[in-house]
Structure 1
Amino acid sequence: MTAQIDTSSCPSPAWLPGGHLQTVYGALAARYHRIAFVRERVNTPDGDFLDFDWTGPGLFSDRLADGQTAQADAQLQRTAARRWMQDEDWATLPTTPNTPALVLFHGLEGSSRSHYAQAIAQHFRARGWVVVIAHFRSCSGFPNRMARAYYSGDSADIEFILDTVRQRLPHARWHAAGVSLGGNAMLKHIGEQGSQVSWLAACAAVSVPMDLVACGVRLSETRLGRRLYTRYFLKTMKAKISEKAKRFPGNIDMFRLSQTRTLREFDTLYTAPMHGYKNALDYWTRASSKPHLKTIAVPTLVLNARNDPFVPEPSLPGSHDCSSSVLLHQPAEGGHAAFVCGAFPGHIGWLPIRLARFFETNA
């Protein structure tokens, strides 16, 4: 049995043509509802921490469990979370068996503030779902405690996140979604685990670079890849690593890292050696999720626009690359993690609707 392929269109507007415009406009200007979260910090087994941003029926960012008004925490002012989770807050979330719940993994340098995370969280929260956005190390607005950070093939952290949310709400009917880098890490993990993650009702991966070699080359060697997208990512990535270099002198060659201009150079100098790989090519090859799609046992939607400027169309998986549990949806238009629709100024409401349809029908 092989995967099914859906080529039905995302109704991209005529006033926003092309993958580059759709990607940039979707991230910077398209409309979406904004949502505030309640944050939980969880210590990891290796001495670090991860921040989880929660929302759901009965849990309010501006109100405590006893009904009193909650003051916004100044420590969280640069994040999408308004206050920290308290022990009493857990009792406010639904306790009904099979309460629908979603854990979302963000993309490179993303967070719960990202446009796609906000749109997805608001859509499902408004329909009675519990939603939690799990931040990768150093992405929650706070530097993590270690010299390492996060990377696209971190199955161990995906497993820890899934175990954590399941422990918090064991009665819930859990779903998982990952966007871009987070989607690759999620797909790799669920492919490696096979039926061991059958407690997940369904998964969805959006705009995922499943062939990291092809996508890394696209971003490192094309003009717009280097000058627009890579420059945007490297600005915050270099700032984070510069802060780490001060805390861990001798571990990071900040002079050479500051000179990097491509993701290949950055990953060769930092990401790869810091996380157990020889160089960027070794990292991209071994961390790619594409080889693991054949062993996915959970119903999984893999959504990629064919005009995604980060993901070359020839690198997208075909039906024979995946198990029968996978549905490949590959519309012609949509850009990267954007899928803008509607009359000007447009909105990004199509994406959460598409995820919800799959979670409800597996189609």
Structure 2
Amino acid sequence: MIHPADFTPAWWLPGAHLQTLVPNLLPRRGVALRRERLEMPDGDFLDLDWGPQREGPLVLLLHGLEGSSRSPYAAGLMRRLAQAGCQGLVMHFRGCSGEPNRLPRAYSAGETGDIAHVVDHLRRRAPDRPLALIGVSLGGNALLRWLGDHATSPRVDAAIGISVPFDLHRAADRMERGLSRIYQWHLVRQLRRSVLRKCRRLDMPLDCREIARLRDFRSFDDAVTAPLAGYRDVDDYYTRASCRPWLRGIRVPTLILHARNDPFMTPDVIPGADELSDSVRLEVAEGGGHVGFMDSRGRSWLERRCVAWLGERFGYRFDPT
């Protein structure tokens, strides 16, 4: 189902770029976090940051590209979840928790194995507790890609995807145009820095001398992401990792929040109703930018909508202010 989102952008933040930049540059008041290190079967590790102890549903947050529990959107969501009585936690993708991971492999938009491992870990710890996942941007793509794969049979009660790229080919093309190149420059610079840091610690199956010359997502993903994640090349990666073809297979009640003016992609990446399963509710706002959605009172509509929908699913009340 596709519905118009009940969101009106702040009048003093007109356009896609201000809605994207301001909410994600302003500091958000977070919560105290407790770190748990989860050792992986392949000898690597994942770091989980747990919010304050609460008795409500478990809510696992998957961050976006080069994000972490320190990202403003993550801090805001974790605080809002704690206020609503939910037990929030952030799963850091490999290498994103502030310490390089032990293996050459990192993470990608199609990495679903680590999500499944963490969900299994949480289910063993609390088998009867309601569990929801929230995926932001790249994390949202990986989440929806995983939920749509029937072979995985995810043991999840609800899910939310935020500002999901849907089609990685088109998203990469969009980042080559206009002011969106600024976001690309910033993120690729962070990615290069992360890989070069690992090159100094590990024997990487890459030509580390070429990393500094990579300037856009397509060249970086072709030289680094695709080979490390087991894809043939960047086109193979973008095709197989994009979540759009998998949306029909989702059986978990899922909310997707998206802005038509998201500067990380073009409006034509938004799937049609015939591409969604009956379990998916897609809410599209005309404005809101990328992981922005700030209203005229300076509040995050995104946070309120996520918690309100989880409250509907799990039957708890929260303070919407």
Q: TM-score, normalised by structure 2?
A: 0.93
CA contact (8 A) 2:31 2:52 kept: no
1:101 aligns with 2:58: yes
2:45 is the counterpart of 1:49: yes
Say yes or no: does 1:38 pair with 2:41. Answer: no
Q: Does 1:246 align with 2:200?
A: yes
Per-residue CA shift, 1:224-264, capped at 9, x if unaligned?
A: 232x1111112221111112112234622122111011000
Could you tell me which amino acid in structure 1 is paired with residue 82 of structure 2?
R
Q: Distance in 1 between matches of 2:180 and 2:259?
A: 17
What corresponds to 1:203 in structure 2?
159
CA–CA separation in structure 1 for the residues paired with 2:152 and 2:228: 31
In the superposition, the TM-score normalised over structure 1's length comes to 0.83
CA distance in 1, matches of 2:104, 2:28: 35
Give the Cα–Cα distance (whole angstroms) in 2 for the partners of residues 250 and 292 of structure 1. Answer: 32
The equivalent position to 1:275 in structure 2, one of 229, 238, 244, is 229
- How big is the shift at 1:289? 0.5
Distance 1:236 1:286 in 2: 24
Separation (CA, whole Å) in 1 of partners of 2:200 and 2:250: 41
Unaligned runs of 5+ in 1: 58-92
In 2, Cα distance between the equivalents of 1:8 and 1:247? Answer: 46
Unaligned runs of 5+ in 2: 314-321
* Partner secondary structure for residue 247 of structure 1: coil
Hey, which bits of structure 1, 4+ residues long, moved more than 6 A?
A: none
Structure 1 partner of 2:317: none
Counterpart of 2:177 (choices 204, 222, 240) is 222
SS in 1 for 2:153: helix
Q: Please tell me whether residue 337 in structure 1 is matched to residue 279 in structure 2.
A: no
Q: Tell me, yes or no, if the aligned pair for 1:205 and 1:301 is still in contact at 8 Å.
A: yes
Alpha-carbon shift at residue 162 of structure 1 (Å): 1.1
Distance 1:106 1:137 in 2: 11
Show the counterpart of 2:248. 294
Amino acid at match of 2:60: V
Aligned residues: 313
Change beyond 3 A, Cα 1:320–1:120: same
1:156 correspondence with 2:113? yes
Identical amino acids, percent of aligned pairs: 39
Structure 2 Cα separation of the partners of residues 302 and 181 of structure 1 = 13
For 1:335 and 1:36, how far apart are their aligned partners in 2?
28
Q: Could you say which residue in structure 2 is the equivalent of 1:73?
A: none
- Aligned pairs for 1:183-194 (under 5 A) are 183-193=140-150
Counterpart CA distance in 2 for 1:223 and 1:256 is 26
> Would the aligned equivalents of 2:84 and 2:307 in 1 still touch at CA under 8 Å?
no
